[in-house]
């Protein structure tokens, strides 16, 4: 069947009138009785607007909830399986190690051992450094690189994730806890709070996964994260000026202004031996980073550089025995002591630890999930976001009882893990074993490791988080995204990490709400040579249909935009009528609302349509709707609005609506 | 041109290939060089995807801001006018009274005087009653029915709005202020806080209008307002049990449980004369309400009943001189005393007054705007929401300096105003004059008015806010809207007015976010007898295209749903492939994403498309896009994604995409 824009030149056969409200059964061919055949100028073949098969309320609710909470349909693989097979699958589901473990072979082992040792060489210096970032003793960073990777290798579904402390979560934990408790004056209390916050982070993460609320992390948009990470990286780097310059009395604030003031004011404390050593190693580390970035096969250059720097600088410092270079000092030997007795769930700091736990929990989750997804997509396998959250959450809950602070999948170490050719989560076990050997036997060697080298390692690690090219791309593609990015960046840099994050989330939500409140609405015309009606702004060749205004609505119609919809249509109408008046054309007789892109409608939206119809009726202009989608059609037929529009004002397509309204005898 | 679903039976002419990235100039007819004519099975006439004319960043931003803040284009009427005419128009714009005043005539005056006197007869008893609801002296209610209506008649653009105190805002102000200050123990402080809160309400309202943020009131959806109003009406009615039963020692809490406990516990204070009189007048008032509801021409029956009840009950009470019936008592004569000196902007209550001001401000604004719009639509004129907000805001700021508390357009009185045949805002001036006469000469007459009659008037007024039929309609049409309604209702009833309102707004926002996070995605098929591809769930007769999966995305693609999009497409693909395997059909070779309903895309969305393409490429499945709308096409061509898809993977329509992908030689 053909609906042409030159209606008068064609003749149509009546096949079926548009369906009446709620009528979904096929109808026999039927004549329009009010148009006796001899009077018809042309006959349209009209297609009826269907509605989906009626569902019970319970079924509709179940489907809706399934789509919200189980979009990945995790139980799919259990369908049509014997119960023994189901048990095995469930074991595989909850402990992925049984899945890949059963297919393990020596060839995989070789790759995993190489990868595991490579990331261990990075994890040990980074662990020590990041613990300092969180104002914790360096040994906690090593503890946190031992127990959590072991737990993750049992539960995690990513092959490439390298687990341990990360810079952003360490920074946030450090800055939030230090606001209430000084780590120098009350070290035990500070440790208690850190472990308790880690426990809450784990509980929060596991609950998100268990309640299948994983989509919450999606609300931290990439744009805001770019800004947030960039700002945090600068904050972290600025904090390293303490170690890099050898300043003893450093500000405890994080803001850009405070730190720079402190740096300038304490210039008498600048320590030139430290500065020389720090800058030299920083230059070497940045150089190796560049080498690996230019040639990905040389990934081991930058992966091994931190450990090499630690070894070389420790030897230098041991030979010099200079008192002006501050060193890590005595570290206790031995594996993680239990710390469950340090968790405190009462007293005046509960609110603080819960808040810190949620903040670090969501940040580390965001990083872990993003890293897992990135490498899963590179290697073409799937990670289940909610299951990953449970794995990370359980890992942190267990970690908090074994002297570990908050951990997750680290982007830098996972990248090295991937480059080094890891095949399974066994590389985490290898890494943990290397950390174990360090903890048991090598701790005294760190005695003379200069603190300045840790600062250089941190700066090298976080400098990669400043993504200027990403920000430039945002500016080019989406100005509002760029604004969100800059707001988060400046918020972190000038106010505080929490404010930066809050601003970032608020802007992300505001952007969604703005789009919902002011949806796109376009005037459509016929694209020559087709039967398609498209925006006349986008397709400049599109031709408007005389005396018919076709408006496309490109959004769900909600309470938040229903008034705008009415206003905007009236404004289009006014503009068109002014144009018609000037050009001496006939005025608008019919408004066609193209509903193809209206994905949903609520009760306010339905009221707005009735309202618009009433206003247009008073001006003797007809309002017809074209192509309402399933849920919208269903809802219209369920309410009085469907009846108000009736079967002769609902059309299958814009083309049919135009054809029908054009061949109507003019009033 | 015709694109038929039986591609092989037709032959097409190449007219133009789809446009390359950023290419929007018309192209000459051109041959596909990689397909020599003798090898072509068929030739497609393809239409290129256009992008809107390039705009500068500044222009795009200007257009965007104009759409957000000036969707009604308020300066339209000033275009192409002389400067003298512009001055007159500006005067009309800011003071609508000059517009209608210049065309005023005696016939209009007669209608307005009748309407004004009718609403005065309602406004006087309601003013006294609502002031008591806000824990304020009754005289404040009369003051508030005098100055604000005068100011509104100068500035307001609605002809039908009857201005004065309203029940919900009175209740909220009363309950919020009483939490901090007892109106009985510190009456002067309470009065200060009430005026200051009114001032802040005015500032907030006027700022919303001035900053053109009027759309914020649209976020209180009709569904949540239905629930909120219903709950508030019950709370208000319960509070009236104090007056109706004559209880002296009544709870100062608002919750359902507290009030009922208090009523039962204080049964020894029940006063039978009061109860008899109250129930009798309540019955009469409800009866007159019914009469007017059944026959709108008898609107004056319910409009006059409150004043009649006050007069009759006052006479009865004067004759009886019973000490057991509590009466209003002495009221001061005279017009509004100035109260600017009572406004306090420092001290410990500033936060409370600001909070109360914002809450009552937004609630009274919502009522005022809704009432204004309702009657404007009935009488076919426009009210400018932002200008109305400024008018209401200025009215409240001025009111707070003239002993008035927060006022707005009242629904019940505006309905009476409309029924009584008001023609202009002059009816408000007439009403204010009647109130003035009352204030100057009639105040002693209220001495013996029983308090119980005020309770009966309040109950009669608020009972209409309980909209059971509206709630039932919500249940029928939209279960989620109904849940929001019930949550607001129960929140107000069982916890507090503020909690109820917060819950209502939170659910409204959550609903929007949920829709954005989990957008509709549908599998499409060809509707027989058309070239339209529609959801196979909605149109059960639609036929899937073999080995092509067509997915329609019905939402903007955002950071919040981009991961879901990828997951959902992969799930559709899995289901389709399982089906194909069972039916022994060929597997999917091509996925067509129908982008017609994708109203916008952000950087995360663009990344998700690249991601999806990469995943499908690995499985040797082609991903093509059909009909991206203007802003989406523009953004794709501006980013690397457009290049990744290239000109041969972007199609004008689904039909062309299917035709093109079907006639490709199979790999």
SS3 track for B219-271: HCCHHHHHHHHHHHHHHHHHHCHHHHHCCCCCCCCCCHHHHHHHHHHCHHHCC
Q: Which of B1, B221, B517 minimises the CB distance to A529?
A: B1
pLDDT digits (tens, 9 = 90+) for B87-133: 888 888 888 888 888 888 888 888 899 889 988 988 888 898 899 88
Q: Where are the domains of chain B?
A: 59-94, 100-512, 519-662
Q: For testing the chain B interface, which of A10, A23, A54, A215 should be mutated: the one with the most B CBs within 10 Å?
A: A215
Please give the ipTM for the structure prediction: 0.73
pLDDT, residue A46, reads 67
Test B473 with A558 for CB contact under 8 angstroms: no
Gap from A68 CA to chain B (nearest CA, Å): 6
Phi, psi of B590 (to 5 degrees): -150, 135
Test A602 with B481 for CB contact under 8 angstroms: yes
CATH (one of 3.20.20.70, 3.30.750.24, 3.40.50.150, 3.40.50.720) for B519-662: 3.30.750.24
Q: Which of A541, A607, A629 minimises the CB distance to B538?
A: A629
Contacts of B47 in chain A (CB under 8 A): 527, 529-530
Residue A9 has pLDDT above 60, yes or no: no
Gap from A347 CA to chain B (nearest CA, Å): 28
User: How much is the pTM?
Assistant: 0.71
Would you list the DSSP string of B22-83? T--S-------TTS-GGG-S-----PPPP-PPP--HHHHHHHHHHHHH-TT-TTGGGTT--H
pLDDT, residue A593, reads 92
Test B223 with A603 for CB contact under 8 angstroms: yes
pLDDT, residue B241, reads 87
Q: Say if CB A50 and CB A633 are below 8 A apart.
A: yes
Give the nearest chain A residue to B641 (CA atoms): A477
Contacts of A573 in chain B (CB under 8 A): none
Give the nearest chain A residue to B65 (CA atoms): A518
Residue A446 has pLDDT above 90, yes or no: no
What's the CA gap between B661 and B8, in Å, rounded? 12
In Å, how far from its chain's centre is CA A264? 39
A·B CB contacts under 8 A: 262
CB of B568 within 8 Å of a chain A CB? The answer is: yes
Give the nearest chain A residue to B542 (CA atoms): A50
Burial label for A665, CB within 10 Å (0-12, 13-18, 19+), is exposed
Per the listing, tokens 């020559």 go with A528
Q: For residue A224, name the pLDDT band (cuts at 50, 70, 90).
A: confident
DSSP class of residue B146 equals: T
Helix (H) / strand (E) element for A548: namely strand A548-554
Q: Say if CB B109 and CB B426 are below 8 A apart.
A: yes
> Mean per-residue pLDDT for B334-344?
90
* From A55-59, A464-468, B261-265, B538-542, the region with the lowest mean pLDDT: A55-59
* From A8-17, A398-407, B475-484, B532-541, the region with the lowest mean pLDDT: A8-17
Residue B19 has pLDDT above 50, yes or no: no
Test A478 with B72 for CB contact under 8 angstroms: no
Residue A41 has pLDDT above 60, yes or no: no
Contacts of B373 in chain A (CB under 8 A): 563
CB of A472 within 8 Å of a chain B CB? The answer is: no
Greatest pairwise CA separation for chain B in angstroms: 111
A383, two tokens: 């990670």
Greatest pairwise CA separation for chain A in angstroms: 111
C-alpha radius of gyration, chain A, whole number:
33
Return the exposure string of A529-553: e unless at least 16 CB atoms fall within 10 Å of the residue's CB, then b.
Answer: ebbbbbbbbbbeebebbebbbbbbb
CB of A178 within 8 Å of a chain B CB? The answer is: no
Q: Say if CB B415 and CB B352 are below 8 A apart.
A: no
CB of B531 within 8 Å of a chain A CB? The answer is: yes
pLDDT, residue B35, reads 41
Dihedral, CA of residue A627, residue A631, residue A636 and residue A639, to nearest 10: 180
pLDDT digits (tens, 9 = 90+) for B123-140: 888 898 899 889 999 999
Test B535 with A481 for CB contact under 8 angstroms: no
Q: Which of A538, A558, A561 minimises the CB distance to B50?
A: A538
Test B72 with A567 for CB contact under 8 angstroms: yes
* From A189-203, A566-580, A637-651, the region with the lowest mean pLDDT: A637-651
Test A571 with B73 for CB contact under 8 angstroms: yes
Residue B2 has pLDDT above 60, yes or no: no
Gap from B568 CA to chain A (nearest CA, Å): 7
pLDDT digits (tens, 9 = 90+) for B165-199: 998 899 889 988 988 898 889 999 999 999 999 99
Contacts of A604 in chain B (CB under 8 A): 221-223
Gap from B416 CA to chain A (nearest CA, Å): 22
Q: For testing the chain A interface, which of B596, B607, B608, B617 should be mutated: the one with the most A CBs within 10 Å?
A: B596
Phi, psi of B130 (to 5 degrees): -65, -35
Share of chain B above pLDDT 70, in %: 91
CB of A479 within 8 Å of a chain B CB? The answer is: yes
pLDDT, residue B46, reads 67
What's the CA gap between B282 and B129, in Å, rounded? 14
Gap from A255 CA to chain B (nearest CA, Å): 28
Q: For residue A662, name the pLDDT band (cuts at 50, 70, 90).
A: low
> What is the fold, at CATH topology level, of the domain defined by A518-662?
Transcription Regulator spoIIAA (3.30.750)
pLDDT, residue B666, reads 46
Residue B27 has pLDDT above 70, yes or no: no
Test B45 with A538 for CB contact under 8 angstroms: no
pLDDT, residue B45, reads 61
């Amino acid at each position: 069947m053909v609906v042409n824009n030159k209606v008068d030149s064609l003749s149509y056969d009546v096949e079926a009138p548009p369906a009446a409200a709620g009528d979904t059964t096929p109808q026999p061919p039927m004549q329009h009785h009010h148009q006796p055949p001899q009077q018809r100028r042309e006959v349209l073949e009209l297609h009826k607007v269907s509605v989906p098969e009626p569902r019970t309320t319970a079924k509709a609710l179940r489907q809706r909830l399934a789509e919200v909470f189980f979009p990945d349909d995790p139980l799919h693989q259990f369908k049509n399986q014997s119960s023994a097979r189901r048990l095995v699958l469930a074991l595989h589901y909850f402990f992925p190690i049984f899945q890949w473990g059963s297919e393990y072979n020596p060839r995989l082992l070789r790759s995993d051992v190489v990868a595991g040792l490579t990331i261990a060489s990075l994890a040990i210096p980074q662990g020590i450094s990041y613990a300092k970032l969180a104002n914790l003793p360096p040994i906690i960073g090593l503890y946190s690189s031992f127990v959590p990777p072991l737990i993750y290798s049992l539960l995690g579904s990513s092959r490439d994730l390298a687990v341990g402390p990360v810079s952003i979560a360490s920074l946030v934990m450090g800055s939030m806890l230090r606001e209430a408790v000084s780590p120098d004056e009350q070290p035990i209390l500070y440790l208690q709070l850190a472990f308790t916050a880690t426990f809450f982070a784990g509980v929060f993460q596991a609950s998100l996964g268990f309640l299948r609320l994983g989509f919450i992390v999606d609300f931290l948009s990439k744009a805001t994260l770019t800004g947030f990470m960039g700002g945090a990286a600068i904050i972290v780097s600025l904090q390293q000026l303490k170690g890099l310059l050898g300043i003893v009395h450093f500000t405890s604030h994080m803001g850009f202004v405070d730190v720079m003031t402190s740096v300038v004011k304490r210039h008498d404390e600048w320590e030139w031996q430290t500065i020389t050593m720090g800058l030299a190693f920083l230059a070497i580390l940045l150089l190796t980073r560049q080498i690996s970035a230019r040639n990905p096969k040389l990934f081991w250059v930058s992966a091994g550089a931190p450990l090499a720097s630690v070894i070389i600088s420790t030897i230098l410092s041991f030979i010099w025995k200079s008192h002006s270079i501050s060193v890590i000092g005595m570290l206790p030997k031995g594996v993680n002591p239990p710390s469950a007795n340090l968790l405190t769930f009462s007293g005046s700091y509960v609110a603080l630890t819960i808040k810190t736990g949620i903040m670090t929990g969501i940040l580390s989750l965001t990083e872990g999930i993003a890293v897992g997804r990135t490498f899963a997509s590179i290697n073409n396998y799937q990670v289940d976001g909610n299951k990953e959250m449970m794995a990370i959450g359980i890992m942190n809950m267990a970690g908090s009882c074994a002297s570990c602070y908050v951990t997750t999948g680290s982007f830098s170490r996972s990248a090295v893990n991937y480059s080094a050719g890891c095949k399974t989560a066994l590389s985490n076990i290898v890494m943990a074993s290397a950390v174990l050997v360090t903890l048991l036997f090598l701790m005294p060697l760190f005695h003379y490791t200069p603190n300045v080298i840790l600062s250089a390692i941190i700066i090298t690690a976080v400098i990669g988080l400043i993504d200027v090219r990403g920000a430039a791309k945002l500016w080019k593609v989406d100005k509002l995204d760029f604004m969100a990015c800059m707001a988060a960046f400046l918020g972190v840099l000038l106010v505080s990490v929490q404010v930066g994050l809050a601003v970032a989330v608020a802007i992300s939500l505001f952007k969604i709400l703005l789009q919902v409140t002011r949806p796109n609405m376009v005037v459509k015309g016929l694209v020559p040579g087709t039967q398609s009606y498209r925006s006349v702004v986008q397709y400049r060749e599109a031709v408007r249909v005389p005396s018919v205004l076709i408006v496309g609505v490109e959004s769900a119609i909600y309470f938040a935009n229903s008034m705008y919809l009415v206003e905007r249509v009236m404004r289009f109408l006014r503009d068109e009528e002014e144009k018609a008046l000037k050009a001496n054309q006939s005025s608008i007789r019919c408004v066609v609302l193209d509903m193809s892109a209206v994905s949903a409608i609520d009760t306010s939206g339905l009221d707005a349509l009735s309202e618009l119809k009433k206003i247009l009726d008073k001006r003797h202009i007809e309002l017809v709707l074209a192509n309402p989608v399933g849920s919208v059609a269903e809802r219209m037929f369920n309410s009085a609005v469907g009846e108000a529009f009736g079967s002769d004002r609902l059309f299958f397509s814009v083309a049919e609506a135009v054809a029908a309204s054009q061949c109507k005898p003019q009033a």
